[in-house]
Each structure stands twice: as structure tokens, then as C-alpha cells.
Structure 1
Amino acid sequence: MRLFSRNLLLTLFAGMLLATATNHVHSGPSGMDAATRKAVLAKLDKAEGKRGTAGCVIVDLDTGETLLSHNADSPLMPASNMKLVTSITALDQLGADFEFVTRIFGDGSIKDGTLAGDLCIIGGGDPNISGRFHDDDPLALFKDWAAQLKKAGVTRVSGDLKFDSTLFGGEPTSDGWPQDDQYIKWYCAEVTALAFNDNCVGIRVIPTKSGKPAKIEVVPDTAYVTIVNETTTKPGRKGAEIGIVRPRDENVITVKGAVYEEATWGYYTDVTVHDPARYAATVLKETLAKEGISVQGDVKPVTLTHDDVERCKLLVDHRASLVQALQPINTNSQNLHAEMLFRQLGLRYAGKGTFKTGQAAVYAYLKKQGLLTDDICIEDGSGLGRGNHVTANLLVKLLQKVAARDDFDSFKASMAVGGESGTLEKRLTNACVRGKVVAKTGYINGVRSLSGFLFAGERRYAFSILMNNCVYTKQMQDEILEVLAKASE
């Protein structure tokens, strides 16, 4: 194995020269050889260009030695690297054995197949009531719940289907999120305690015959949204030119544009819905009907008290683990899931789950760990807001803390793997780093981040690379890790 520490004086002298030449604060002890440090710093300087700022910290996990520190304490927008703060805080404060609980109660007696009263579902903040872990069938859990209701003797509900999503409060979106028409994008979904299918519907546009309107499918098939079809099918080439509009507080989705005859797979996108808790309850009612359970009344919101719950009969008790929920957050960068977890933290900390209590919970955790400084700003749990500011040093210290936990393997498994999975599937594909980097990516306009772990040779590293207003960002981040991996062989 190649040793980093060759000559302490040469290393320090090279570091001083680089700091003088670039007008940046570069520092690092003898754990990284001069050539490696020079190569990494050169790539950071190239990324910064004329107006960018890059923060980078690389630490040896086994010795705790900081191998490279560049703008380590500069507060920078982290984009989705904020999800590391949220998920590590959750693992510590909620615990690896934490479970999200979704319950369905019957408010009435059951006789001859009829529930004489209302069916009530209470959302517990589970972000994965979807097809994600169920063979891509978004209705899989609802079908299973229908089977449980039948087993309990229910095939007809005389009352309403009521839903309680009051575990979380406050506004469903953050003022710091994009204020243009991006609210229809999956990454801007409204946050609710009762969530379903990432609080989105899938829109598939399929070509028909030239000159005819395209066929539009809604996934899952539901009457909750109204589709206005303003599409046409054009002859020839593959592809589509589709635009989608949904008024902010409505669920009328207008699909415009053209899809081409040769585009056999058509066009697909996910579109957020308004009032997603009602959406979840509506699709549940529709699914129950298809599974042979009729609900005679309407879908209505409700706030159930403790006494109400005590009076009702528990019919479905669905539980999902925190560890499972971390995977979509850290591998696929699912914003809604991170925001729901953020509110769970607020609920645990302050007794109610809102953006403000989520912020307070994370601040309290960082303060307890000795990591909170005046420059740190927590706006949300996903990193979508541009008001979030953290440092590369903070992220690496959090990574060091989670790496020291007994359940580190579970956390590590939640992250994307370079060249193999999630948001890193098409990055870090060179042999020296493929499969050796587990990390969280981040991107919003003008921001690119990458933080995580590199396992190369016998060395284990924690790293954070935050780039604001930089250039060649993905290339430089990947090349920095390649340099480090090759130096560790």
C-alpha cells in the first residue's frame, strides 16, 4: 500500500506555496503526500474559476486525521447534501429502530360484513406508501389493507372514509422553495403526514395515429385529478414535446404538445397533486371498491382525539422502518421523504411537526454535538431552499459520527454507490473508484455538492466537496476522488 506521508517538510512547504499562489486557505498535515494534495487543490482551483467557492474536507476515518482542508468553514449552500444532516440527525434522535405507523380504524360495530360507521385512516408520516418497495405497484399496500379489512369482516362501510393528516402542521411547502411553476415537479411536492405515491400522479402520453390526440394515462388511475388533453400525434421521429400545467391550488392537469408516432414508449413524468392527504384517502377508497369493499359516504378530513381513537376498533396497523426510509432519501435524493423526516424530528423535539420545529430540532442536535456556529443556517430538510448554509467541515464531522455508530452499515447502504446506483449510477465509473464511493449528491442552480465515503485499498475516507458558482463541478469532484483513490493503491 502506498503511504501518503513521505516528507513532512516538503508537504508543508508545498502547501504554503499553493496557499500563497491561490489566495485560498489550504491546510493539511502529513497524511497526504504533496503530489496528491497539489493535484486535488489544482482541481478545486479550476472549479472555482473567477467567481466560485469550493469547500473541501477529506479525513482519514481510521486515524481521524484531516488530510485536506480547503475553505472548510465557509458557509455554502449544500443543495441535497442537506439530506445528510437530516438523515444523520434522525438516526441519532429517532433511532434506527424507529417506525412510521399508519393505522386504519373502524368507528362503529361490524355485523354481516357492514361497518356501521366511518372508516378512518391516520397518517403517521410514512413516506413510502407507494410502489417503491412493492414491485412498482403504487396500490400494493392499499390492496393488502383491503385484504386485512375483509379478514376483519368488513366488505361495506355505511359511513365516510375519513383521513387524519394532522400529525404534521404548518404550511405544506417552504417559502424558500422555487416560487415559479416548479411546484408541479416531484421535488416540490406538498408535505403531509398522510402521503401516497410521493404525493404525485404519473402522466404517460402515448402516440396514436398522426393527426389524432395522444392517449393519456394517469398512474395510478384515479378520479382525483382531471385531465385536459391538448396533445396531438405527429408522424415520424421518436420523442415528444410535451408541456404540463396545473393551477397551484387545483387538480386539473392540462397536457399540451406533441408526441411522435415512432415514440413507442411515449412520454412520462410525475406531477404533484394539491392536498395530497385527500388524494391518498381518495385512492384508498377507489382501491377498496375495486377489491370488493364499498364505502357509501364521502372522503372527509378529520382530527381524531385520543378518546376518539380509544373508542374505535383498530383494523390495520402498518409499520415501516426508518432505515428503509433513508434509502430513497440518500440514494435517489427524494425531497418529500427528507421533508417528512424533518417534520418527524420537529414532532419529537417540540410535539408538533412543522418546518420551524424541524429547524429547531436540527439546530438543537448540532449544538449538542458542538457543531453549531453562527454561519450555519437550516431552512428545510431536503436542501431545496437556497437559504440553507452549512460547511464542508460540518458535513465531514457528521459523517465521522455516523461512521462510528454500530448501525453504520445500514446508513452506508442507504447511499448511492459510484458507478452503480442512484444519483451516482452514471458517475465515478472509472475502475479506480467504481463501487468504492458511497455518497450523497446535491444540485440546485449554481450549486453542486458531493459528500460521503471513499473506500480505497486499506484506507477509509470521509469527504465533503461543496461547490457554489463553480464550473466543471461534476468532473472536478469525480477527478478529486479518482486522485485520492489512486494514491491509496
Structure 2
Amino acid sequence: MVKPSSSLLSRRGFLGAAVASLALPAVAEVPAVSMRPRLRNAQRVQASAVDRLLERSGVSGQVVFAVADADTGEMLEGRRTRVGLAPASVTKAITALYALDVLGPSHRFVTEVVAAGEIKDGILTGDLILVGGCDPTLDTRALADLAAQLKAAGLREVRGRFLVFENALRPLHTIDPGQPDHLGYSPAISGLALNYNRVHFEWKRGASDTYNVTMDARTAGYRPEVDMARMTVVQRSLPVYTYEDAGTHDKWTVARGALGQEGARWLPVRRPGLYAGDVFATLARANGIVLKTPQMVEALPQSTRLASVSSAPLRDILQGMLKYSNNLTAEMVGQAASLRRAGRPHTLAASARQMNLWAIETLGMQNPAFVDHSGLGGQSRVSAQDMVQALVAAQKNDTLRPILKPVKMRDAQGRPTNDHPVKADAKTGTLNFVSGLAGYVTAPGGREMAFAIFSADEDIRATITRENRERPPGARTWATRARRLQSNLLARWGTVFDAQDTAALKN
């Protein structure tokens, strides 16, 4: 097992008094601030205020939360803090900490083109290989750079095969098999990704009432059409999309009745290695280098590097991941960290288990139960208390908050405002009838607190079929209510715990 790099997060640096405060049973699994049978008057007022917020929210199912002083770990308020709920994309905050600690903030992912054979007078007599290096941000422009480097190096002809290596990570057909095939936020995963493993599908109705369709790998300045993802317009109303793995390509159909005059959307790629190889071959041909049809290879032969491109530093990648909540980025960087820590994981769940162990060892979490790195899998569970404990640990080194996205607070009328006295930076998480928010909130007086809020209605979730997971009835209204409750809780904590003596609110 490879040990993590020099730690950004020291277990010794935060365990002790702060963790002891977080672990107080007085706030566990209860709807009030304290478990004392006889509440003081101040405690009754606080419990009643929270109860009123919950009642007015209209959020069905379970609501759990915890808030603690970010510097000391002193627990300030909580509701059912040890109950584990699905964290959704709040998971990405833990993934970011995991990757930063194991790989390091300056780590860069490298994609290469290598030659297995001799090059003489610009002619490669052996194979040319595109090698994925776990870069989740690789795009068509980067592949164009690789092709241009080959031309600049004098390569004119490849007489051997064109191979693609994606096995730095074990290829997986989708992030969450429970999601419909056409949803772009659950693409395939491997050690090679292009354009977040999505292909751009565009359609326009022609003069003869037929449709012109294109499938391309567009990035700013580039729009190469692809052959490995193919679309056919079919005379039907539903289902809108069907998918079939045709072996050499992704085979899609779309219902004619759903298209209208024109439009476009991103569809997931299920064969990322072939997708990248298809696009790279087109870009190489534009530079005068003709390659054969790409073939996948499971192991790398002895070879010589001809060209390479590097990603941005990991910290920048993670900041973008937290801002845009990209699932593929989370899964690839999480698995890359597990690869460094314990070898190539065979499944997302196996990689997530490594992250769970790391979180226990490094963050002092008690019972994290993540099943992936993105939160898309609804089987993950984490408690508000565990999440807050991790946030307090990260605060010791100011690791996470600088890369979290600011939360838009709301005024008394529920409207988003930029000048609210309470400031928060956090990671959101949303699945159907699941909503989470966790991060840091600063009161007007300057007190910093770590918090986690999780809501879920598992009874309704259990009734949603796979086909209806894109937009199930009632999900948007429920999510709006959950987000409003989160904002109200943040505003409350920024007022109630603003640098005041909280002794009267504790046991």
C-alpha cells in the first residue's frame, strides 16, 4: 500500500477537545438542542424556533442538521445528528479533501502519445498509442495540441496500429446504473476521458421534413464529427431516447415526435477510449498523419513518449468540480487517489471504501458510508455530525473553504441577495427528493461555524421508476422547499450564535 503524501490534514492537529465537543451525545438523534429531560427556558425558545422553521418549510421526510464552532469544534445545535442520510453531491467535498491529501494540490494529470517501435525519416514502423492519465478535464483542444506536437516532431506516417490505453482506471459503463441511459451526468468512466465523456448531439429539420443530425466532440474552436456515437431518428413519441452498445460504437435512437424544429443536447459516451481515439485520429489526419481505426489495448508495451499534455493543478480542478458539481471529475480524481493509496480499484464502491477508511483515519469521521466519489449513487450515507467533524478538521488547515462556492443567501421575502450579513461557502447536493448543504457560515460578528444539513424523503424516492428519474413529479417543488429551509437555518445560526456566550444553550 502506498502511503498518502505529506498530509494537508493532520489527525493529531484536530483530534482532542474539538472532536470531543463534536461527539457530545446531547445533540444526537433528537429534534431539540439538548437531551436534558428538563429544558431551561432559553433551550425551549431555541427548540421552538427550530421546530417552527421545520413546520413552515413543508419539507417531507427526514431533516437532520448540525452546526459547530469551526475553530473549537464546539457543537452549537443539532437535530438527529447521528442519522445517516444520502449526501448527494455534498460527497464531493470529502472527495476533494481525499484527493488533495493523497495526490497533493499541485498534482497534474498527464495524457501522452507514445510510440512502440522505431521512427526513421518520420515513419513509425510500430504502433502509436494514446495513453490516458486520469485527466478528467481533457478536451478536444488538448488532443489537437497532441496531434500538432506529433507533426512538429516530424512524424509523417504510422505503419503500425493506432492503439488507445484507458486502463489506468478500470473502465465502467456508467457512474450509476440506476440512471437512464441518456443522462449526461452519468457517463462512462475510465483512465481516459474527453469532454467529460459527453458527445454533442444536434438536429435541424430540413426542407423535406427530414432531420439532419450531427454527433461531434466540440470544444472552443473545434467541432470534429465522431463515428463511434451514431444517432437515428425514429418515428415514435416515446421513449425519447434508446441506447444500445453496438460493440464498435454507441448506437442511439431518438423519437421524432420529441425533436421540434431544431435543438441540441449533450449525451453520455459509453466507450470513452474509442471516443477519444476517434477524435484524435481526425485531428491527426488534419496534421497530415493518417491513423488506422483505433483499437483498445489493456497493457502498455515498452514505448517512447512523443507528445504530452498536462492538466491544470489538482486544486484548480477541484475548485471547478465543487463549483459545477461535475460527477465525472469527482469519480476520476477519487479513483486516482485510491490508485495511489492502494492500487487500482475494481469498482466505484471499492474506491469509495478506501476514501471511507481515509476519512476515519485522517478526518476523525466515525461512520462514513460513501459508495462513490460524486454522490450520484443514492445508497451513500453520512451523518450531519460526521460531516461537521470533517469540516472542522479541514478548517484547521484552511483546506476546503477557499475552494467552495459562495452560497446565495435570501432576504426576508425569500429573494436572493448579495448583501446579506451572513456569509456562507458550501457544497450543495441534489438528487430526487434529496437535498444537502454542508460547509462554513460566518456570522456578522465574524464567528465562523461548520454546518451540515441533509433532507430526504426515501418513501417518495422508492416509487420513482428508472425511466422517470430525470424529472419526477414534485421533485422540483420539494427541492425548492429544502433549499429555502437551508437558507433559513443559515440565517438563524448567523444571528443566534454570532459571537455570543452559548453556555445557556448547552447541557
Task: State the TM-score, normalizing by the size of structure 2.
Answer: 0.76
Give the equivalent residue in structure 1 for 2:240.
Answer: 243
Following TM superposition, by how much is the alpha carbon of 1:414 offset from its aligned partner in structure 2, in angstroms?
3.5
Which of these residues, 16, 25, 31, is aligned with residue 24 of structure 1?
A: 31
Greater shift, 102-111 or 278-287, is seen at 102-111
C-alpha distance in 2, partners of 1:439/1:84? 9
Question: For the Cα contact (< 8 Å) 2:185–2:326, is it kept in 1?
Answer: yes
- The alpha-carbon distance between structure 1 residues 456 and 150, as it changes in their structure 2 partners (threshold 3 A), is farther
Give the equivalent residue in structure 2 for 1:412.
Answer: 401
- The alpha-carbon distance between structure 1 residues 371 and 73, as it changes in their structure 2 partners (threshold 3 A), is farther
Which of these residues, 426, 430, 433, is aligned with residue 439 of structure 1?
A: 426
Give the equivalent residue in structure 2 for 1:42.
Answer: 52
Give the equivalent residue in structure 1 for 2:454.
Answer: 466
Give the equivalent residue in structure 2 for 1:61.
Answer: 70
Give the equivalent residue in structure 2 for 1:253.
Answer: 252
Question: For the Cα contact (< 8 Å) 1:48–1:469, is it kept in 2?
Answer: no
Give the equivalent residue in structure 2 for 1:190.
Answer: 188
**1:362 aligned onto 2:355:** yes
**1:452 aligned onto 2:439:** yes
Give the equivalent residue in structure 2 for 1:201.
Answer: 199
Q: Deviations over 1:12-45 (max 9, x none)?
A: xxxxxxx9xx972433999x99867754443235
Following TM superposition, by how much is the alpha carbon of 1:225 offset from its aligned partner in structure 2, in angstroms?
1.4
Following TM superposition, by how much is the alpha carbon of 1:248 offset from its aligned partner in structure 2, in angstroms?
4.9
Structure 1: unaligned runs, 5 residues or longer:
1-18, 131-138, 233-239, 421-426
Give the equivalent residue in structure 2 for 1:316.
Answer: 308
**1:379 aligned onto 2:379:** no
**1:222 aligned onto 2:222:** no
- The alpha-carbon distance between structure 1 residues 25 and 140, as it changes in their structure 2 partners (threshold 3 A), is same
Q: Deviations over 1:149-192 (max 9, x none)?
A: 12211132222221111111264446xx3436x13211211110
Give the equivalent residue in structure 1 for 2:21.
Answer: none
Following TM superposition, by how much is the alpha carbon of 1:271 offset from its aligned partner in structure 2, in angstroms?
0.9
- The alpha-carbon distance between structure 1 residues 298 and 23, as it changes in their structure 2 partners (threshold 3 A), is closer
**1:161 aligned onto 2:166:** no
Structure 2: unaligned runs, 5 residues or longer:
1-26, 218-224, 459-477, 500-507
SS across alignment from 2:416: coil
**1:430 aligned onto 2:429:** no
C-alpha distance in 2, partners of 1:91/1:194? 20
Question: For the Cα contact (< 8 Å) 1:39–1:483, is it kept in 2?
Answer: no
RMSD value, Cα: 3.3
Give the equivalent residue in structure 2 for 1:14.
Answer: none
Which of these residues, 238, 260, 272, is aligned with residue 276 of structure 1?
A: 272
**1:393 aligned onto 2:385:** yes
Following TM superposition, by how much is the alpha carbon of 1:428 offset from its aligned partner in structure 2, in angstroms?
7.5
Question: For the Cα contact (< 8 Å) 2:142–2:309, is it kept in 1?
Answer: no
- The alpha-carbon distance between structure 1 residues 225 and 178, as it changes in their structure 2 partners (threshold 3 A), is closer
Identity across the alignment (%): 25
C-alpha distance in 2, partners of 1:24/1:153? 70
Aligned ranges 1:478-489 → 2 under 5 Å? 478-485=487-494, 488=498
Give the equivalent residue in structure 2 for 1:294.
Answer: 290
SS across alignment from 2:368: coil
- The alpha-carbon distance between structure 1 residues 227 and 394, as it changes in their structure 2 partners (threshold 3 A), is same
- The alpha-carbon distance between structure 1 residues 428 and 381, as it changes in their structure 2 partners (threshold 3 A), is farther
Following TM superposition, by how much is the alpha carbon of 1:299 offset from its aligned partner in structure 2, in angstroms?
0.8
C-alpha distance in 2, partners of 1:118/1:330? 39
C-alpha distance in 1, partners of 2:306/2:90? 39
- The alpha-carbon distance between structure 1 residues 208 and 333, as it changes in their structure 2 partners (threshold 3 A), is same
Residue 316 of structure 1 aligns to which amino acid in structure 2? S
Question: For the Cα contact (< 8 Å) 1:214–1:231, is it kept in 2?
Answer: no
- The alpha-carbon distance between structure 1 residues 72 and 302, as it changes in their structure 2 partners (threshold 3 A), is same
Q: How many residues align?
A: 430
Question: For the Cα contact (< 8 Å) 2:170–2:344, is it kept in 1?
Answer: yes
Following TM superposition, by how much is the alpha carbon of 1:259 offset from its aligned partner in structure 2, in angstroms?
4.3
